[in-house]
Amino acid sequence: MGPAGPAWPPGAGAHGSRWQSVLAHLRAHAACKTARPMRTTPLAAVLLFAACHGDPVDPGVDAAPPDPDAAVAIDAAPPIDAPAAACDVSGLATVPTVPVTSALIRPSDTARGGETIDDVVQMQMKRHVVSAPTNAADRNGQLFVWMSGSGAEPGNYDTIVALGTAAGYVTVSLAYDNETSVGDRCGVPMDPVCGVANPACDEGVRQEMIYGSAVHDSPCVDVSPANAIEHRILRLVQYLAQNVPQSGASSFLTAGGTGLDWSKIAVGGWSQGGGHAGMLARDHLVARAIYASKGADSTLCPLTVSDPAMCDLDGDGMLTPGNDDELLVPTPWSTTPRMTPGSRQFGAVHGLEGAWNYSPEVFALYGMGAKGTAVDLDVVGGDYAAYTCRHTFVTRATPACGPTDYHKSMALDACLARTPGGTPVLAPFYWYALKLPVP
């Protein structure tokens, strides 16, 4: 992508009872379920161009009751307080909006060696959304990969893609098989492996979705190696490196161009996509990771402890249906060692969505800061100094698409809550998470 804004290559186009009775109740419940020149401007002005459109989204993404992939949960291990004593927010005050080149790319066009990478997933046509600063001087030398929630489309995130591009990233909203939630794949009634009684199910499902069946073969999902998330990213980067060398995409590959250099790749996602980002940040030292609503799933507390009484957090001698802080805990894989430190991870949750009951505990396990220390965006807005270097955030703002669509409002353009001036309430969070210098 040079100063003249070259065309993209061919094919590119413009989600109180006794222990046993409570557990049975929970099991039953779970089973049912084109170049754009602009000037440097304040954050509010630069975001107004990201239209709040109503792209079709699977209603299961945040239906009532919540999608199992947006399930609720609780307190886990002792939290870790990770924010730095000092951080540099001096470069965040304005958003440098620069000439942008963008494209839609068919995943099948990136395939090599006779492999098949699907464009159509469960009857849904999907395209990678790619956006980057046109001029090399405006790029930061990193790739930002955003992953959708269950049922949402790569084109549902104009605001996040615009911010990633403004921050200097070659930004991708990835097309992958997200039509079925992880919660549904692990909610098969009466199935001991693919059912709610197996707290390890979601880890296996995510491993196959990310790395493919040749690396981890879960009986609960079927993802060929060519269609796995990591492989889709690799082939897209190789495609850009070959067809648009001006993009600098070759720098995101290892020597020889056969693998991804994760140290130059930032990952992020919402809902299901946030959990994938969380696992990638566990398995690789990534440039940074951004989680909207969640960075992992939840599971039933009584399935993870030797004595169900350990789940009785309020000490009343019983587990209370509906008390999600007692009944659900972060999924076991979220407690395992991570390659990416908390200082490179950022997360935001709506205080009225189900994930609020467990994501703070997940973020604490990730080393992102103690539960109860989240920045309240409704109070401080874009006052970055008031964030005091913290990495977790909360809002309770009213969604634009429906008064109770809290989960959708964390990322989808059509649902983002907005200030009276039209700026998305979450825009300062995303800008901070994308731009704050990290070790």
The whole-number pLDDT of residue 77 equals 40
Q: How confident is the model at residue 125 (pLDDT cuts 50, 70, 90)?
A: confident
What tens digit of pLDDT does each residue of 360-419 get? 999 999 999 998 999 999 999 999 999 999 999 999 999 999 999 999 999 999 999 999
Q: Which residues contact 337 (CB under 8 A, 6 or more apart)?
A: 282
Render pLDDT for 252-290 as a digit per residue (tens, 0 to 9). Answer: 999 999 999 999 999 999 999 999 999 999 999 999 999
Contact criterion met (CB below 8 Å) for 31 and 189: yes
Q: Where are the domains of the chain?
A: 12-435
Is the Cβ–Cβ distance between 208 and 217 less than 8 Å? yes
Peptide bond into 65 cis (omega under 30): yes
Residue whose tokens read 């998305």 = 424
What whole-number distance in Å separates Cα of residue 439 and Cα of residue 4?
35
pTM (2 d.p.): 0.83
Residues 6+ apart with CB under 8 A from 96: 40, 138, 166
How do 288-292 and 298-300 pair as beta strands?
A: unpaired
Q: Are the CB atoms for 228 and 116 separated by under 8 Å?
A: no
Q: How many helices and strands, by DSSP H and E, does the chain display?
A: 11, 16
* Spatial separation of the C-alpha atoms in residues 44 and 431, rounded to whole Å: 11
Pick the residue with more confidence: 182 or 317? Answer: 182
d(CA 54, CA 184): 25
Q: What confidence tier does 305 reach under pLDDT thresholds 50, 70, 90?
A: confident
